[in-house]
Amino acid sequence: MALISDEEITAVRNRADIVEVIGHYLPVNKKGKSYVALCPFHDDHSPSMSISPDRQIYKCFVCGAGGNVFTFVQNFEKVSFPEAVAEVAKLVGYPLSVDPTAQKKPEDPHRETLYRILDETIRYSMYQMNTEEGKQYRNYLEQRGLDQKTREQFQIGWLPAQDQLYRFLHAKGYSDSDLVSVNVVRTSPGGLHDVFSDRITFPVHDPQGRPIGFSARTIDRNNPSKYINTNDTELFRKGDLVYNYHRARGPARREGQMIICEGVTDVIAFWRAGIENCVCTLGTSCTEQQIRLLKSSAAELVFCYDGDQAGQNATWRAAKMAMAAGCRISVIRNDTGMDPDEILRKEGPEGLQQLQKQKLTWMEFAIEYLKKQTNFDNYQERREFVRKAQAEIDTLSDELDRQHFTEVVGEISGFRLEYQKKEAPKQVRPRPAAARARDGAEEAEELILAQMMAHPEAAARFEEKLGYLTDPQRNTAAMMVIDQQRRLGHTEPAALMDKAENEEIRRLLSRLATGWAYELPYDEKVFDGAVRKIRISIKEAQAEAFRRQLQQPMNAASRDVLLKEYQECLIELRGYIDEENSTESN
């Protein structure tokens, strides 16, 4: 298996600019010498991620995420290291000699066959759409604005009646059992039949963009099932999949939000209006798996269901689930009585762009929603309205919001509600790592390591004077720094990240490379002072261990040996402390 060489990895890293690469995924703003962004690795509300163009690394001061261009792409796209290198190479236009995405282990042959059947079905249906028999379906779609370009983009096709698809696939040599198992063909007492007989087909894909099934509509007004979907198969699980996710994910990441609407035609309508970060679930309600998938694409989910009662109930349920999963949510208020597709037809793209701007916060939506369910002439119902609305207000963290909505609910209900300031919450937030109490030795080790990362002289001094650090992670990091400087002859923090064997070390390196100790000029006295602190702490720990051992019962000879060692240890410790005191008094 071909691997990307270290030379190529270095070349890609050197060509990439971390601000540009991160800026490709997130909005990035300049702040002083560096850049800041909302951290995509935790639910960030104020930009906590700092990006250093000098050092080519990023660091989140809240969740601790940090690294270089490759680790960013790796964690953001949830891909392997070689895939991240390939992605960055693509972004910066560096031609890699190998394609690591081609190195993926092959799918199992059975699954390959199933994907191929679905692929063939899509191509067959698109072909049929363009035949003479397909004309009335083409016209039907054209009238709704789904022109050739849109049909090709979404691979919309038409499957004829009389089991023609089955005969086509059968002739191609696919087994009946495979055709049935992806549910393009079904068994019935009369034999095998097409599932989507005489229907317009909208292919559904998994997040990797592989075809997994269909949503299909009839244009026959007498057919009671306007839309039917593929039954659950080993590829197609209605509760897990999200229609158009593979296309919408990129745009959603750029926009920071994903719009969730009711149906396939709504998604396509938004797309045609230039709003590409849009998906739907097949069937109204969202499941937890779907929310989890959506959450990985954007921190904010925007629900755009129909304005009718069913749509609003679905919004309430899905939004609650999304908030419980840690998403920010908002709701597009659609009280036009039309679905997005109709709006696009009647008002053009501006109509949908306008609709998208009518966003309600959760609390605004919740009050509207509860209000519609309440008969305000009935005291019990009014009271219930207040109780439910207050439960939602209690979840708000912003004091001004709480005050405002308490007043709104009071006005609507006619109840006189006293706004009560929330008790100042006890300090539960852990103090930042840098401020946490740390003994002198720990601080000294971090100073040494940061200085080694910044100055080759410090690394040389470390080898001469100390040679190791007591904390295993820091010690590993120190060895990596020395190794790098031997190879390159200079320091390069961003290049270290790729060699880190685990996330903890990477975080340690990126924290130190963005910290104050990295900024300090190299000063041998300061460095030696840190070395001494570590030695003192090691000797103190040894002395303590001797004291404990000496309290144990033992024979006289052993005790003598131990006592001697203990005394030597104390003398060395004394020496270091004297040295420390004499430098301090200078």
Min dist. Cβ of residue 298 to Zn ion (A): 16
Scanning 40-48, 102-110, 299-307, 349-357 for contacts with Zn ion by CB under 5 A, the matching segment is: 40-48
Residues 6 or more apart whose CB falls under 8 angstroms from that of 58 comprise 18, 22, 49, 50, 51, 52, 65, 66, 67, 68, 72, 510
Binding pattern for the stretch 383-402 against Zn ion, x by CB under 5 A and - elsewhere: --------------------
Stretch that binds Zn ion, among 33-41, 72-80, 337-345, 482-490 (CB under 5 A): 33-41
Residue of 353, 220, 212 whose CA lies nearest to 282:
212
Interface with Zn ion by CB under 5 A: which range of 18-26, 61-69, 169-177, 291-299?
Answer: 61-69
Minimum gap (Å) between residue 19 Cβ and Zn ion: 17
CB 331 within 8 Å of CB 363: no
Judged by beta carbon, residue 47 or residue 493, the one nearer Zn ion is: 47
**Running DSSP on this structure, what letter comes out for residue 335?**
-
The smaller minimum CB distance to Zn ion, of residues 76 and 174, is found at 76
Residue 65 contacts residue 507 (beta carbons within 8 Å): yes
Find out whether 353 and 275 touch, Cβ atoms under 8 Å. yes
Closer of 15 and 42 to Zn ion (Cβ): 42
Q: From the CB of 22, what's the least distance to Zn ion, in Å? A: 13
Strands 49-52, 34-37: pairing is: antiparallel
CB of 299 to Zn ion, least distance (A): 11
- DSSP SS3 for 292: helix
| Gap between the Cα atoms of 356 and 299, Å rounded | 17
**In the stretch 41-60, what mask flags binding to Zn ion with x, by CB under 5 A?**
xx-----------------x
CB of 40 to Zn ion, least distance (A): 8
Closest CB to Zn ion among residues 50, 491: 50
Site string for Zn ion, 414-453 (x = CB under 5 A): ----------------------------------------
Minimum distance from residue 44 beta carbon to Zn ion (Å):
6
Q: Between residues 43 and 528, which has the closer beta carbon with respect to Zn ion? A: 43
**Nearest residue (CB) to Zn ion, 75 versus 284:** 75
Number of H helices, E strands in the chain: 25, 16
Nearer of residues 42 and 559 to Zn ion, judged by Cβ? 42
Closest CA to 331 of 341, 317, 344: 317
As measured in angstroms, the least distance from the Cβ of 511 to Zn ion is 12
Biggest CA–CA distance in the chain, Å, is 107
Nearer to Zn ion, 37 or 441 (CB): 37
Question: Shortest approach of Zn ion to residue 50 CB, angstroms?
Answer: 10
Question: In terms of CB distance, is 60 or 495 closer to Zn ion?
Answer: 60
Please state, in angstroms and rounded to a whole number, the distance separating the CA atoms of residues 263 and 265: 5
Alpha-carbon dihedral 221, 223, 228, 232, rounded to 10 degrees: 180
Please name the residue that has the structure tokens 């650090």.
469
Binding mask 135-154 for Zn ion (x = CB under 5 A): --------------------
Compute the distance between CA of residue 307 and CA of residue 321 in angstroms, rounded to an integer: 20
Secondary structure letter of residue 232 according to DSSP:
P
CB burial string 163-177: b at 16+ within 10 A, e below: bbbbebbeeeebeee
Total of residues contacting Zn ion (CB under 5 A): 7
Which part of the chain contacts Zn ion (CB under 5 A), choosing from 34-42, 343-351, 456-464, 572-580? 34-42
Per CB under 5 A, which region of 38-46, 249-257, 280-288, 367-375 contacts Zn ion?
A: 38-46
Residue span 62-91 as binding mask against Zn ion, x where in contact by CB under 5 A, dash where not: xx-x--------------------------
Nearest residue to 204 via CA among 285, 290, 145: 290
* Shortest distance, position 76 Cβ to Zn ion, whole Å: 12
The residues, ordered by sequence, that sit 6+ positions from 383 with a Cβ below 8 Å of its Cβ are 415
Taking the least distance from each CB to Zn ion, the nearer of 72 and 270 is 72
Distance between CA atoms of residues 30 and 24, nearest Å: 15
Cα–Cα distance measured from residue 449 to residue 481, given in angstroms and rounded to the nearest whole number: 8
Return the number of the residue (244 or 297) whose C-beta is nearest Zn ion.
297
Query: Which of these segments, 39-47, 250-258, 385-393, 410-418, binds Zn ion (CB under 5 A)?
Result: 39-47
Alpha-carbon span 464 to 354, nearest angstrom: 68
Buried b (16+ CB within 10 A) or exposed e, 392-407: bbeebeeeeebeebbe
Provide, rounded to whole angstroms, the least separation between the CB of residue 59 and Zn ion: 9
Closest alpha carbon to 121 in 177, 160, 153, 149: 160
- The smaller minimum CB distance to Zn ion, of residues 60 and 494, is found at 60
> What are residue 460's DSSP bridge partners?
none
- CB closer to Zn ion out of 41 and 227: 41
Q: How far is the CB of 58 from Zn ion (least distance, A)?
A: 10
Q: How far is the CB of 255 from Zn ion (least distance, A)?
A: 20
Options 16, 19, 39, 267; binder of Zn ion; rule CB under 5 A = 39
As to burial, measured by CB atoms within 10 angstroms (0-12 exposed, 13-18 middle, 19+ buried), residue 227 is middle
When the beta carbons of 41 and 546 are compared against Zn ion, the nearer one is 41
d(CA 32, CA 43): 24
Residue 327 as a binder of Zn ion (CB under 5 A): the answer is no
* CB 75, min distance to Zn ion, A: 10
- Shortest CB 37 distance to Zn ion, Å: 10
Cα-Cα end-to-end distance for the chain: 62
Residues within the interface to Zn ion (CB under 5 A): 39, 41-42, 60, 62-63, 65
